[in-house]
Structure 1
Amino acid sequence: MYDVVVVGAGIEGSATAYNLAKNGEKTLLLEQFPLPHSRGSSHGQSRITRVEYGEDDHYAVMMKEGGKLWRSLERESGTSLLVNCGCLSVSKQGNSYMKATISSLSRNGIKYDILTPGDLRDRYPMLSLPPDYVGVFDYSGGVLRADKALRAFQTLFVKHGGELRDGEEVTGILPGSDVTIVTSQGEYRARKVVLTLGPWAPKFLPKLGINLPLETVLILVLYWKEKKDGEFSAGRFPAFRNIRENGGVYALPSLEYPGHAKVCYHDGPETDPDSRDMAYTGRILSTMKSYVREHLPSLQDTPSIVESCMYTNTPDKQFILDRHPIHRNIIIGAGFSGHGFKLAPVVGKILSELAMDKTPSYDLTPCRIDRFSSTKARM
C-alpha cells in the first residue's frame, strides 16, 4: 500500500513524485520504458525557459515561482540546470501576442527590452528578419538543461525515500476507495494515483471513462551547423522565438552539439506515440530548410542532426491539472502542449497538492477537465 502512485516518469511525473516524497508521502513512481529513454516528451538536452507568456498571464505568474524552484533544485542536486542567456521573441509590428507579452512582463515586474527593427539588426547580425519585425527581450529567460533536470528530480525523489520502477508498463487502473494499479509485473494499491502519461494519455484515459480532445504530434528537433565558429554561442545568441501566423519557430544557442544551433518548428504531424517513427515529416523539414536559409543565413541550410520529440496538445493549449470527475483520488496531469517543461517544478507542486488534499497554490480554472463540454466520465 502506497500513499500515492505516480504513473509516468517524464518531467511532470518526476517533479510530482519528488514533491510527494519530500513531503513524507510513501510514493511509487512507475515508468513503462527503461530509463533513460527518448520515446516521450521529456528527453533531450535543452528547453527554452521564459517568464513572458502573452495572453496566458497565469503561466507568467507560475513562472515567477518556477524560476525560484529551478534554482532550489540546482542547489539541492548540486547540478547546474539553467543558462540565463535571455529569451528573444520577435514578430510583426502590431502583433497582439507581442503586445500582451509586454503587458505581462510589465505586470509581473520582469526586466525586458523592446527592440526596434534597427535594434534587432544591431544586436543580432546573425538574424535576417523582415523589415517590419520588432522584438521583446526577456532578461529572465534562457535555456534549461533538460536531461539533467529530469535526472535531478528522479535522483532526489529516491533520496527522499521514493521508489522508482522503470520498464514496468501500467495496463490498468481499478478505481475505489483505494486504487489498484495493474502493471506488466504485478499489482499495487494506493490511496491516490497521479497520471502523468504524456502522449499516452489519449490512449489510456478512455479506460477510465475520460475522453479528452488531446492531439499527439511529432516534433522534429533539428541542429544546424554554424558557418562561423561561436556566432550562436550562448554569449551571443539567446533563446529565440518567432511568433508567426503560419507556425512558430524557436531556436536555442549552441550548447548541446559543438558548433550547432537548435532550430525547430513548433508543430508537427499527428502521430500515435507507439508508431511515431512512421510519421511523415518531409513537409516540416522542407519548411525549416527554407526558414533557416532565409532568416538564419549564418547557419548551414541542411540540418546535421535530426532527432524527435512528442507534444500532447489541447485545443486551447492550456494544461489539464485536475481530479477525475468521479474518482477524486485519481489526479490527472496532461496536455502540456509543448510548453510544460519549464513549468514542471510548479506543476509537480500543484499535482502533489491535489494528491495530498491540499488547496492548490494557484487558481486551476483554466486547467480543469470540465472546460471541454464534450468530456464525459462513464464510470
Structure 2
Amino acid sequence: MAAEYDCIVVGAGIEGSSTAYNLVKEGQRTLLLEQFPLPHSRGSSHGQSRITRMAYGGEDYYTEMMIEAFKLWTELENEYGTTLYRKTGLLAVGRPGCDLIDGTVESLRKYSVSYTKLDEHELRSKYPMLHYPADFVAVEDHTGGILFADKALAAFQTEFLRHGGTLQDNEPVVDVFPGDIVTVNTNKASYRGRNLVLTVGPWATKVLPTLGVQLPLKTLRISVLYWREKTPGEYGAETFPIVLDDNCVGQYDIYGLPSLEYPGLYKLCLHAGPEVDPDRRDEADSTWVVENMKQYVADHFPRLEPHPAIIETCIYTNSPDHDFVLDRHPAWDNIIIGAGFSGHGFKLSPVVGKILADLVLKKNPSYNLSHFKIDRFNRKYEGVEY
C-alpha cells in the first residue's frame, strides 16, 4: 500500500526545502522528494554563496518580502546554530538617473533602510580598484551581504528532518495522478498525499506540461566565474562589498561577490547565459558569456587577472517578467506550484516557503500574490514571443 502524507513536496532545492520545513512545523506529515542524490549541483540551489539585499527598485512587493526574509534567516540561523549570512554591504553602480540607481534609492528611502549615495568622485576615491566611466555614480545598501547557500540548504533540510519530516533523495518522479488524493509514483515507490507542492526548478518546463500547465519559462545555464586577485585580499569580504551593475554589458546585469569562497578569487558573473535543456545542460556553448566577462574584467576590475581561474555552472529558470510563480494549479487546488525564480529567489526562500505552505493549508497569504499568479501570462504576454 502506498505511504500517505498530508503533503508531498517534489524538489529539494532551496524553495522546496523551505516549503517542507514550514509545513512540518505546522504539524503536517510531509514527504520531500528529490530526483538526485543529495547534495548535488545539477539545479539552482547549490554552491557556497548567494547575494542578499533589501532594495528592489520599482518592485516594492519584493522589498516587503525581504524585510521578513531577513528576520526568518536570523530565526533559522538560531535554530540551526550556524551562521548563514555575512553582511558586506552592496554597491550598485550606474549612470545618474538609471533604473538601478534611482530604484535602489527610492526603495531604501521608502522603507527607511540605511544607504549612502556616492557621486562620481566619491566612487573613484572610495573604490580605486574599480574603473567605471567618469560619469558613473553609486549607492551603498548597507543591508547587503552574502548568504552561505550550501549551509542554508542544509539548515532547512536538517531542521525539516528534526521536526519529523521524511526526505527521499535519488528518487525521480515518474508519474503524478491528480485527484482529491494525489498519487505520486517514483522509480522506487508510490506515495499518496492530500496535497502536492511542485518546486522542481528547471524541470518545471518538463513536469508542468504533463499536468496541463504551460508556463512561458526559459532555462538558462549561468557561468559562475571566479577571478584571481592580483593583490590577495583587495576584493575580500572584510572590506569590499557586493557589486551590481546593469549598464556595461548590453542588456545584461553583472553581479560580483567578494573573495570568500576560494581564497584570493573574486566571484563575478553575467546574469545571463545560453538557453538549455536541464537534462543536457553540458552541451550548451557559453563562450560568448566568458568572452564578454573577460572584457568586462579588463575594463572595470583591472586588479583582477582577466581570465577566469574557476568556471562553475548554475541554472536559472526565468519567467518573462522575472517574477515568480506562486499559485495553485488551475484545475486542482490541492496542487501548488512554485517556479520561475529567475535567479533572485534564493534570498527570498524563507518567505516563499511560508507562502507555499500557507497555500497548502488554505490560509490567507501574508502578501498580495497577484504578481505571482499563473494567469498573468495570459493577460500580459498573449501573442508575445518569449
Q: TM-score, normalised by structure 1?
A: 0.98
5 Å-filtered alignment, 1:300-379, equals 300-373=305-378
Cα RMSD (Å): 1.1
Q: CA deviation digits over 1:116-142, x for unaligned, max 9?
A: 111111111111111111111111110
Is residue 25 from structure 1 mapped to residue 24 from structure 2 by the alignment?
A: no
Q: CA deviation digits over 1:56-91, x for unaligned, max 9?
A: 110001000100111111100001110101111111
Q: 1:54 corresponds to which residue?
A: 57
**Counterpart selection for 1:269 from 242, 266, 274:** 274
Is residue 211 from structure 1 mapped to residue 188 from structure 2 by the alignment?
A: no
Is residue 247 from structure 1 mapped to residue 252 from structure 2 by the alignment?
A: yes
Amino acid aligned to 2:253: G
Q: 1:294 corresponds to which residue?
A: 299
Moved more, 182-191 or 88-97: 88-97
5 Å-filtered alignment, 1:76-87, equals 76-87=79-90
Task: Give the Cα–Cα distance (whole angstroms) in 2 for the partners of residues 70 and 119 of structure 1.
Answer: 33
Q: 1:107 corresponds to which residue?
A: 110
Q: CA deviation digits over 1:274-297, x for unaligned, max 9?
A: 000000000000000000011000
Return the offset for 1:98: 2.1
Q: 2:96 corresponds to which residue?
A: 93
Q: Secondary structure at the match of 1:251?
A: strand
1:194–1:333 contact (8 Å) kept in structure 2 = yes
Q: 2:182 corresponds to which residue?
A: 179
Q: Secondary structure at the match of 2:133?
A: coil
Q: Which runs of 4+ in 1 moved over 2 A?
A: none
Task: Give the Cα–Cα distance (whole angstroms) in 2 for the partners of residues 54 and 220 of structure 1.
Answer: 25
Return the offset for 1:313: 0.2
Q: TM-score, normalised by structure 2?
A: 0.96
Return the offset for 1:194: 0.4
Task: Give the Cα–Cα distance (whole angstroms) in 2 for the partners of residues 105 and 365 of structure 1.
Answer: 23
1:231–1:237 contact (8 Å) kept in structure 2 = yes
Moved more, 237-246 or 11-20: 237-246
5 Å-filtered alignment, 1:165-244, equals 165-244=168-247
Task: Give the Cα–Cα distance (whole angstroms) in 2 for the partners of residues 29 and 119 of structure 1.
Answer: 50
Return the offset for 1:96: 2.7
Q: Secondary structure at the match of 1:301?
A: strand
Q: Secondary structure at the match of 1:338?
A: coil
Task: Give the Cα–Cα distance (whole angstroms) in 2 for the partners of residues 328 and 122 of structure 1.
Answer: 56
Task: Give the Cα–Cα distance (whole angstroms) in 1 for the partners of residues 290 and 197 of structure 2.
Answer: 36
**Counterpart selection for 1:125 from 117, 122, 128:** 128
Task: Give the Cα–Cα distance (whole angstroms) in 2 for the partners of residues 20 and 215 of structure 1.
Answer: 29
Amino acid aligned to 1:235: E
Task: Give the Cα–Cα distance (whole angstroms) in 2 for the partners of residues 182 and 252 of structure 1.
Answer: 41
2:92–2:100 contact (8 Å) kept in structure 1 = no
Segments of 5+ residues of structure 1 without an aligned counterpart are none
Q: CA deviation digits over 1:293-332, x for unaligned, max 9?
A: 1100010000110000000000000000000011000000
Is residue 65 from structure 1 mapped to residue 33 from structure 2 by the alignment?
A: no
Return the offset for 1:6: 0.3
Q: How many residues align?
A: 376
Amino acid aligned to 2:210: K
Q: Percent identity?
A: 56
Amino acid aligned to 1:300: E
5 Å-filtered alignment, 1:147-166, equals 147-166=150-169
